[in-house]
Chains A and B, each alone.
Chain A
Amino acid sequence: MYEFGFTRPTSVADAVAAMGEEDAQALGGGQTLIPTLKQRLAMPVTLVSLSGIAEMQGIQSGDGQLVIGGATRHADVAAGAGAYPALAALAGGIGDPAVRNRGTIGGSLANNDPAACYPAAALASGATIVTNLREIGADEYFQGMFTTALEDGEIITAVRFPLPEAANYQKFLQPASRFAMVGVFVAKFADGVRVAVTGASEEGVFRWGEAEAALSANFTADAISGLSVPADGMIGDIHGSKSYRAHLVGVMTKRAVEAAA
């Protein structure tokens, strides 16, 4: 690590002020950022910890939606998002207990790792990313691997999930990291089905439109049995080829539909 300063504000306003300083960086659970610092791949002047801000903590439900504070840890979502069981299960399947007890939803969505789980849930749910400046719809928010609509210094204060009628997340583990090699989140709403795929694409999380259309008409696994995503544009690496990942997208989608239906 390089030397850095550290501050732990107790309000969003103070955090925003601290983030205005040169080369300040937000610190969520540190599960991505701390290893990066240890490898000297980042050089922030000040880390602004978001863990002391009460208004960014916790889970509320009502009005057909679930609102999760941006600094809420995965373990708390796993335990407390009972109103959205598929989301709670997803949070409970991230990493290991140590990771879940530190890592936060805001950190995960800000980082937008192409193999992360939350982006699939946010995109499939049509969630709204709430920041200190604005509200961003999931469809606008995710802009390719490790890229989001966030501006410099912008802080995710909360995430609003509309509650679907049925939903499920299927995660096929990359054998080493146990991140998603392919993860598919299927969410069925009154006005249609949304399918978001993580882990698979070189463009990061994406919606599988063809499957959405088929499932909106007929929410059964059979409805997508003939469908597939093109291997082109999928990630190919030592853990699996492009065509294997494309194949897994179909399998995981089918399983998610079966589990949700």
Chain B
Amino acid sequence: MPKDIDAKERGIGAATKRREDVRFLTGTGNYTDDINVNGQAYVFFLRSDMAHGRITSLDTAAAAEMPGVLRIFTGKDFEGVGGLPCGWQVTDRFGEVMQEPAHPVLAQGKVRHVGDPIAAVVAETLEQARDAAEAIELDIEELPAVIDMKAALEDGAPKVHDDLTSNLCYDWGFVEENKEAVTKAFEEAAHVTTLELVNNRLIANPMEPRVAVGDFNRATGDSTLYTTSQNPHVIRLLMGAFVLGIPEHKLRVVAPDVGGGFGTKIFHYAEEAFCTFAAKALNRAVKWTASRSEAFMSDAHGRDHVTKIELALDADNNFTALRTDTYANMGAYLSTFAPSVPTWLHGTLMAGNYKTPLIYVNVKAVFTNTVPVDAYRGAGRPEATFQLERVIDKAALELGVDPIALRRQNFITEFPYATPVAVEYDTGDYVATMDKLEEVADLAGFAARRAESEKAGKLRGLGVNCYIEACGIAPSQLVGQLGARAGLYESATVRVNATGGIVVMTGSHSHGQGHETSFPQVISEMIGIPEDMIEIEHGDTANTPMGMGTYGSRSLAVGGSAMVKATEKIIAKAKKIAAHLMEASDADVELKDGQFSIAGTDKSVAWGDVTLAAYVPHNYPLEEIEPGLEETAFYDPSNFTYPSGAYACEVEVDPETGKVSIERFAAADDFGNIVNPMIVDGQVHGGIGQGIGQALLEGCVYDEDGQLLSASFMDYAMPRADDVPFYQVDHSCQTPCTHNPLGVKGCGEAGAIGSPPAVVNAVVNALRSAGKDVTHIDMPLSPARVWAAMQG
């Protein structure tokens, strides 16, 4: 990073330490499980241990008599209540809307995945609830399960939902009008590279499992839900309007400190609706804390695509067309945003960093007897990047050209650039990020490092790739046309107190991203007051304006922009007050370092004088402006932002065991303007860690009967500190976003999007250095898989 940025002490560009870490690291955070409401009862969910079956009898009478039991709920209790809604309706390539099955809070008639909740026992203690759950008499007639997506689409396959015509949710073509032209381009191509691959199913596993506490106030008739959510207002709207029929003014949703989300805490879950419903039914607060085992079988999973990708090139190695065929697993029900992930968050990214003129993407979304699949860090974009960057590497192999040169040759170099997949990149400089990568990764030194590794009996490989990402999905009108049943703006209320301190109430939600530190930096820059005079409040629908929450790397680009807009209003009003105090025209007032002054005079008033005047309006232009200093703004972006970058990974492979170790990992990202370089580093580190997790370790596996084989950390491998190297991360290439006031692009998902192909490219490169004819290995690249690939 440039020196002047590094040296900055406050405001935009300063590496301010994260203030929230003090409470997180000293065990004084306030997580949902820390919330205990007077008189609360506990719920235990009896979940299906079968992937697919018909409930033939469910008798709770004896269990209900067990000690401490308040009531046992089953699907019957929810017959009059809406099911969990899906927030995105995809229209297929024939103009038909997707098949959208009901998603009951508790199973009605059938169970459709291991972990599907069947009954909920509410008791005085959790152990009593568990005891009673064991006394429930339940008979399930087991039905054949569909697990494999292609098998699920075959004629005569068992249907996950009896009332749908098949297990196909939708068959989406994008851009359907391009299809013919793409076919023709393939016929005319000088070379076609084809690759079939799997984007492995993942389980997000945030450190904090999901928790919900429902409360009901009989005196006021108000319901409150405390929940582990990335977007409390979205939960309030979905659950209030579509599930339980509670209007927003009678429902408060609080998402306090949240211990990691990674996407899986975006969605509205059955347990949230249950606790809110049961609290009212019993007039008792009801608490649920997921065990880790429950998290494995009830948190929405991520990825799970099976893809065939084809790249057409002309005789000069220019990309002429791209075609993909993807099967995307939806699981047993549609989770909140599931349909959007393989479509609008995936197809629109298939151009990547390249000027491929013709692209056609086909996606078949499939119901199976597995846990619902939805957005996970990157959501659709990692899947797009992985295919594209793998097929380019394979093309380079087949053509015998340098993979970096092949990429450079096909880079988009002029901006704005309208892709053939409907989006327009505003800015970027892919040559600059690749140049920067070559420098920070010391690619020139690779040959020498490989020679060293070979001396030690190890195979060394280098993998390089680019990525493009789309953050802050918007504008609302467009996403509405694409099927979103929500807007994608963000809100902020900036409340200036009488003595000059500021509280920002934002609709964004921080669950590890550091908003409490970076958002004040922006206001500090704008007003010129210390960051510690500014506090961020988020997560409580009772005191924050309607907001859409945090996902898709949108908080600073969208939420931060709303805050800037509100702060601009504050400054404009404050200048009027200052002008009055200085007996000057507000057009002449300047604000710098927390002082208002009139250019060319020695007149000045301090920020605190103005804020005090706003609330103690003795000497105040009351005929012109109201007292007080508080403004709200809603910001709806005109476009996505498009961060991009180039990543390099160096691995060593133990040829005897197939074990891969990541020796070096470098990232050159373009996030536009940077507010806090240290937080950006941290976001990239975390993202790369998860990307390495996906590439080397993590794999959610079902057997053919739908039993989850990777149902605990004994079998689901999370990355640990010693699985990752020290990263070289650079974000000095900065092409600011042109359409938001901060010029920022978003950095939360980049690492997870950009890193998996680099790892796989590197391992393939390492094996080929030993003469192995390997062109692809499916993730996770476990020692066993790498060894098997080496055996040919």
Q: Do B717 and A176 touch (CB < 8 A)?
A: yes
Q: Do B657 and A172 touch (CB < 8 A)?
A: yes
Please tell me if B697 contacts chain A, counting CB pairs below 8 Å: yes
Q: Do B715 and A177 touch (CB < 8 A)?
A: yes
Binds B, one of A14-22, A148-156, A237-245: A237-245
> 1/0 contact trace for B681-715 toward A, CB 8 Å?
00000000000000011010100000001100111
User: Please, how many angstroms separate the alpha-carbon atoms of A98 and B130 in the complex?
Assistant: 28
A residues 158-214 with Cβ under 8 Å of B? 172, 175-177
Our pick among B710, B718, B788 for the contact of A238 (Cβ within 8 Å) is B710
User: Please, how many angstroms separate the alpha-carbon atoms of A78 and B782 in the complex?
Assistant: 29
Our pick among B127, B134, B782, B787 for the contact of A175 (Cβ within 8 Å) is B782
Q: Do A244 and B656 touch (CB < 8 A)?
A: no
Please tell me if B784 contacts chain A, counting CB pairs below 8 Å: yes
User: Please, how many angstroms separate the alpha-carbon atoms of A57 and B130 in the complex?
Assistant: 37
Q: Do A39 and B701 touch (CB < 8 A)?
A: no
Our pick among A39, A177, A238, A240 for the contact of B709 (Cβ within 8 Å) is A238
Residues of A within 8 A of B713 (CB): 176-177
Contact A244 B787, CB 8 Å, known A40-B130, A238-B709: yes
User: Please, how many angstroms separate the alpha-carbon atoms of A54 and B782 in the complex?
Assistant: 44
Q: Do A177 and B714 touch (CB < 8 A)?
A: yes
Q: Do B127 and A240 touch (CB < 8 A)?
A: no
Please tell me if A248 contacts chain B, counting CB pairs below 8 Å: yes
Q: In the complex, which of the residues A40, A172, A241, A244 has the most CB atoms of chain B within 10 Å of its own CB atom?
A: A244
Please tell me if A102 contacts chain B, counting CB pairs below 8 Å: no
Please tell me if B716 contacts chain A, counting CB pairs below 8 Å: yes
> 1/0 contact trace for B550-568 toward A, CB 8 Å?
0000000000000000000
CB of A103, distance to nearest CB on chain B (Å): 15
A residues 15-48 with Cβ under 8 Å of B? 39-40
Q: Do A238 and B699 touch (CB < 8 A)?
A: yes
User: Please, how many angstroms separate the alpha-carbon atoms of A248 and B784 in the complex?
Assistant: 10
Please tell me if B477 contacts chain A, counting CB pairs below 8 Å: no
Q: Do A240 and B656 touch (CB < 8 A)?
A: no
B residues 452-503 with Cβ under 8 Å of A? none
Q: Do A175 and B697 touch (CB < 8 A)?
A: yes
Residues of A within 8 A of B697 (CB): 175-176
Please tell me if A1 contacts chain B, counting CB pairs below 8 Å: yes
Please tell me if B293 contacts chain A, counting CB pairs below 8 Å: yes
Please tell me if B339 contacts chain A, counting CB pairs below 8 Å: no
Residues of B within 8 A of A175 (CB): 696-697, 717, 780, 782-783
> 1/0 contact trace for B258-295 toward A, CB 8 Å?
00000000000000000000000000000000000100
Residues of A within 8 A of B293 (CB): 39
Please tell me if A251 contacts chain B, counting CB pairs below 8 Å: yes
Residues of A within 8 A of B784 (CB): 239-241, 244
Residues of B within 8 A of A3 (CB): 127
User: Please, how many angstroms separate the alpha-carbon atoms of A240 and B699 in the complex?
Assistant: 13
> 1/0 contact trace for A45-65 toward B, CB 8 Å?
000000000000000000000
CB of B767, distance to nearest CB on chain A (Å): 16
Q: Do B788 and A241 touch (CB < 8 A)?
A: yes
B residues 764-792 with Cβ under 8 Å of A? 780, 782-784, 787-788
> 1/0 contact trace for B66-107 toward A, CB 8 Å?
000000000000000000000000000000000000000000
CB of A100, distance to nearest CB on chain B (Å): 16
Residues of B within 8 A of A247 (CB): 787
Closest chain A residue, CB of each to CB of B134 = A40
User: Please, how many angstroms separate the alpha-carbon atoms of A177 and B784 in the complex?
Assistant: 15
User: Please, how many angstroms separate the alpha-carbon atoms of A39 and B293 in the complex?
Assistant: 9
User: Please, how many angstroms separate the alpha-carbon atoms of A33 and B649 in the complex?
Assistant: 41
User: Please, how many angstroms separate the alpha-carbon atoms of A240 and B787 in the complex?
Assistant: 10
Q: In the complex, which of the residues B127, B130, B657, B788 has the most CB atoms of chain A within 10 Å of its own CB atom?
A: B657
Residues of A within 8 A of B134 (CB): 40
Contact A244 B699, CB 8 Å, known A239-B715, A251-B656: no
User: Please, how many angstroms separate the alpha-carbon atoms of A237 and B710 in the complex?
Assistant: 11
Q: Do B716 and A240 touch (CB < 8 A)?
A: no
Residues of B within 8 A of A248 (CB): 657
User: Please, how many angstroms separate the alpha-carbon atoms of A247 and B149 in the complex?
Assistant: 33
Closest chain B residue, CB of each to CB of A252 = B657
User: Please, how many angstroms separate the alpha-carbon atoms of A3 and B130 in the complex?
Assistant: 12
Contact A176 B130, CB 8 Å, known A238-B701, A251-B656: no
Q: In the complex, which of the residues A175, A177, A240 has the most CB atoms of chain B within 10 Å of its own CB atom?
A: A175
Contact A238 B657, CB 8 Å, known A40-B130, A175-B782, A244-B787: no
Residues of B within 8 A of A172 (CB): 657, 659, 783
Residues of B within 8 A of A244 (CB): 658, 783-784, 787-788
User: Please, how many angstroms separate the alpha-carbon atoms of A3 and B128 in the complex?
Assistant: 11
Q: Do A240 and B782 touch (CB < 8 A)?
A: yes
CB of B532, distance to nearest CB on chain A (Å): 37
Q: Do A1 and B127 touch (CB < 8 A)?
A: yes
User: Please, how many angstroms separate the alpha-carbon atoms of A251 and B782 in the complex?
Assistant: 17
> 1/0 contact trace for A205-241 toward B, CB 8 Å?
0000000000000000000000000000000011111
Q: In the complex, which of the residues A40, A176, A248 has the most CB atoms of chain B within 10 Å of its own CB atom?
A: A176
Residues of A within 8 A of B718 (CB): 176
User: Please, how many angstroms separate the alpha-carbon atoms of A3 and B657 in the complex?
Assistant: 46
Residues of B within 8 A of A240 (CB): 782-784
Residues of A within 8 A of B715 (CB): 176-177, 238-239
Residues of A within 8 A of B780 (CB): 175
User: Please, how many angstroms separate the alpha-carbon atoms of A241 and B784 in the complex?
Assistant: 7
CB of A173, distance to nearest CB on chain B (Å): 9
User: Please, how many angstroms separate the alpha-carbon atoms of A237 and B714 in the complex?
Assistant: 12
Closest chain B residue, CB of each to CB of A250 = B656
CB of B652, distance to nearest CB on chain A (Å): 16
Residues of A within 8 A of B658 (CB): 244
CB of B719, distance to nearest CB on chain A (Å): 10
Closest chain A residue, CB of each to CB of B716 = A176
CB of A181, distance to nearest CB on chain B (Å): 8
CB of B477, distance to nearest CB on chain A (Å): 46
User: Please, how many angstroms separate the alpha-carbon atoms of A240 and B786 in the complex?
Assistant: 10
User: Please, how many angstroms separate the alpha-carbon atoms of A247 and B701 in the complex?
Assistant: 24
Q: In the complex, which of the residues B697, B709, B713, B782 has the most CB atoms of chain A within 10 Å of its own CB atom?
A: B782
Closest chain A residue, CB of each to CB of B780 = A175
User: Please, how many angstroms separate the alpha-carbon atoms of A55 and B233 in the complex?
Assistant: 61
Closest chain A residue, CB of each to CB of B656 = A251
Closest chain A residue, CB of each to CB of B784 = A240
User: Please, how many angstroms separate the alpha-carbon atoms of A237 and B707 in the complex?
Assistant: 14
CB of B292, distance to nearest CB on chain A (Å): 10
* A-B interface, 6 closest residue pairs, ranked by CB to CB distance from nearest: A240-B784, A176-B717, A175-B717, A177-B714, A244-B784, A251-B656
Q: List 8 A-B contacts (CB under 8 A).
A: A175-B696, A175-B717, A176-B714, A177-B713, A239-B715, A240-B783, A241-B784, A251-B656
Interface residues of B (CB under 8 A from A): 127, 130, 134, 293, 656-659, 696-697, 699, 701, 709-710, 713-718, 780, 782-784, 787-788
**Additional 20 contacts, C-beta under 8 A, given A172-B659, A176-B714, A240-B784:** A1-B127, A172-B657, A175-B697, A175-B717, A175-B782, A176-B713, A176-B715, A176-B717, A177-B714, A238-B699, A238-B701, A238-B710, A238-B715, A239-B715, A239-B784, A240-B782, A244-B787, A247-B787, A248-B657, A251-B656
